[in-house]
Amino acid sequence: MTSLDYQPPPLPPTMRPAVPVTAIIAWVIVGFLAVIIPILNHVGQRYDPESAAPQPGRVDVAFQMSGQYILGAARNLPDSKEELIKTLESQAQTPSQKEAAHILRRAATELPATTQPATQPTTQPTFFDSGDNLDLAAHPWFAALRSPGPERDAALKKADRMFVIVLVLTFAGLLILAIGVALGVTAIILLATRWLQPQYGRPQGPVGVYIEAFALYLVLFLGGSIAVSLLLPDVPMVAKVLPLGVLVLFAAAWPLIRGVTWQTYSRNVGLHAGKGVFTEIGTGIVGYLACLPLLGISLLFVMLLQKFAQQQTSHPIVNEIGQGNPLGLLILAAVFAPIAEEVMFRGLLHTHLRRRLGIFLSALISGLIFAAIHPQGWIAIPTLLTIACILSLLREWRGSLIAPTTAHAMNNGVVVTMLIIVSRL
């Protein structure tokens, strides 16, 4: 037997590198929160529908916008009227929402397909029964439908405008989706011919400290959010969340506190300029557009789930639209959330996972945790998981966090901007 044939015996268990106890504890915390949070959200929404309703005195923006679109579509597409109305009725959970859906059904059934001239508002019938269950503060648009006069005319015009806006946005979305398909096919060809090379490098040094930091983030941020909501229930979402940035910053700095050098930390987590800030921003935009077909497929799947489960999904920020400062909401959605979540998920968590796992398994695990802790509920998990995996692939492609953060900001910013514009028309 030559020396080349010799294989050293495996190390005994006592001599193998041990997983740090702190990392094991951190994973227990992360796993527990990733399981319990969606369960609590689902149970709360199913058995206590009022918990998903907006705060007293605030407009139920999500339900109102659904009603406006459905009435506008019913007036312009009479053949689809019944199916559209049933969609809104399936969304109604609280007594006030059910009363609002009843009002919309009567409006779609008894009012003409076009708005009456302003000189003849009194010829329109008064069709509501009692309206005792309608929360006027939460559903002012539905309340305006109940009686003849200029208010009803204005409400009908808003429904028609909403229908047109949705059509325009749909066509614009299809155009952007076509661009995304072209970019996606191009990306596949470039990957197959090895013109595109991933810039991500395997983490250096111990990685247990990164999962510690991620677990610390979940505990501090979620605990801080609950505490602020209990102590200051009437404070707008922006005022509740933005101050929690101090907790996020502390969690992000945990590896440095534990002794990791800035050079190693910035390389591992992706806090560097990559090939240049503007280059990374550009690749983030292009990469997001190229992955839009995947996002579109996930949205179709979520729509099927909503129809099957007779349940709708939305982010709580929707009911903040029109209630306060739109600039603050835009900063929260398109600046604070992308930076904080990319550092935590595609930075700390991804770094820990990639030490032992491959690209796709790391993206899947971090994506499932990302989707689970969001408040949209289990129905939205396919779309949230798809977004998270797209961002992880961008991190792998570029190495730096700038590209996934740009894509994340683009996704959130476009959605919130459209909601703000539509709610104020």
DSSP string, 54-114: PPTTS--HHHHHHHHHHHHHHHH-GGGHHHHHHHHHHH--SHHHHHHHHHHHHHHHHS-SS
The reported pLDDT for the residue numbered 49 is 53
Query: Which whole number is the average pLDDT over 224-245?
Result: 84
Q: Which residue has the higher pLDDT, 285 or 231?
A: 285
The pLDDT of residue 82 is 85
- Is the pLDDT reported for residue 65 higher than 50? yes
User: Looking at residue 55, what is its pLDDT?
Assistant: 61
State the Cα–Cα distance between residues 367 and 312, nearest whole angstrom.
Answer: 22
Block residue for tokens 């602020």: 228
Q: How confident is the model at residue 351 (pLDDT cuts 50, 70, 90)?
A: very high
The CA–CA distances, whole Å, from 357 to 237, 354, 393, 424 equal 37, 5, 14, 47
Q: Which residue has the higher pLDDT, 279 or 38?
A: 279
Q: How many CB atoms lie within 10 A of CB 277?
A: 12
Burial class (CB in 10 A: 0-12, 13-18, 19+), 368: middle
How much is the average pLDDT of 360-380? 91
Separation between Cα atoms, residue 389 and residue 340, nearest integer Å = 17
Q: Which of 142-151, 211-220, 291-300 has the highest mean pLDDT?
A: 211-220
pLDDT at 254: 96
What are the angstrom distances between the C-alpha of 343 and each of 36, 268, 405?
Answer: 23, 11, 9
Residues with Cβ < 8 Å from 168, sequence gap 6 or more? none
- The residue-averaged pLDDT of 355-369 equals 93
8 Å CB contact between 354 and 202: yes
Q: Residue 248, Cα to own-chain centre: how many angstroms?
A: 19
- Per-residue model confidence as pLDDT tens digits over 72-118: 888 888 888 888 888 888 888 888 888 888 888 888 887 666 544 44
- Does pLDDT of 51 surpass 60? no
pLDDT band at 13; cut points 50, 70, 90? very low
The per-residue pLDDT for 105 is: 87
What pLDDT was estimated at residue 121? 47
Helix-helix angle 150-192:402-423, to 10 degrees: 160
Higher-confidence residue of 422 and 185: namely: 185
Give residue 119's pLDDT band: very low, low, confident or very high (50, 70, 90).
very low
Share of the chain above pLDDT 70, in %: 85
Confidence of residue 132 (pLDDT cuts 50, 70, 90): low
In angstroms, the CA 350 to CA 200 distance is: 11
For residue 322, name the pLDDT band (cuts at 50, 70, 90): low
Q: Which of 322, 312, 261 is nearest to 137 (CA)?
A: 322
Radius of gyration of the chain (CA): 25
CA distance 72 to 70: 5
Q: Which residues contact 155 (CB under 8 A, 6 or more apart)?
A: 141, 144, 145
Range with top average pLDDT, 147-151, 241-245, 311-315: 241-245
DSSP code, position 196: S
DSSP string, 97-161: HHHHHHHHHHHHHHS-SSPPPTT-GGGS-------TT--TTT-HHHHHTSSSSHHHHHHHHHHHH
Nearest partner of 204 among 343, 341, 354, judged by Cα: 354
**Dist. CA 354–CA 362, nearest whole Å:** 6
Judge residue 105's burial from the number of C-beta atoms within 10 Å of its C-beta, 0-12 exposed, 13-18 middle, 19 or more buried. Answer: buried
The answer to whether residues 70 and 331 touch, using CB atoms and an 8 Å cutoff, is no
How buried is residue 88: exposed, middle or buried, by Cβ count under 10 Å (0-12/13-18/19+)?
buried
Residue 16's SS3 state is coil
Q: What is the structure's pLDDT at 304?
A: 86
- Cβ-Cβ contacts under 8 Å for 67 (sequence gap 6 or more): 88, 100, 101, 104, 141, 142, 159
- Is residue 4 exposed (0-12), middle (13-18) or buried (19+ Cβ within 10 Å)? exposed
pLDDT at 129 > cutoff 80: no
| pLDDT digits 0-9 by tens, 404-419 | 999 999 999 998 988 8
Note the Cα 362 to chain centre separation in Å. Answer: 20
pLDDT the model gives residue 403: 96
If you average pLDDT over residues 220-230, what whole number do you get? 88
Give pLDDT, residue 287. Answer: 94
For 386-407, what is each residue's pLDDT tens digit?
A: 999 999 999 999 999 999 999 9
- Report pLDDT for 282: 95
Question: Average per-residue pLDDT in the chain?
Answer: 84
Least trusted range by pLDDT, from 33-42, 70-79, 106-115, 298-307: 106-115
Q: Is 123 exposed, middle or buried (0-12, 13-18, 19+ CB in 10 A)?
A: exposed
Q: Is the pLDDT at 124 greater than 60, yes or no?
A: no
| Residues present in the chain in total | 425
Q: Which of 381, 166, 187 is nearest to 292 (CA)?
A: 187
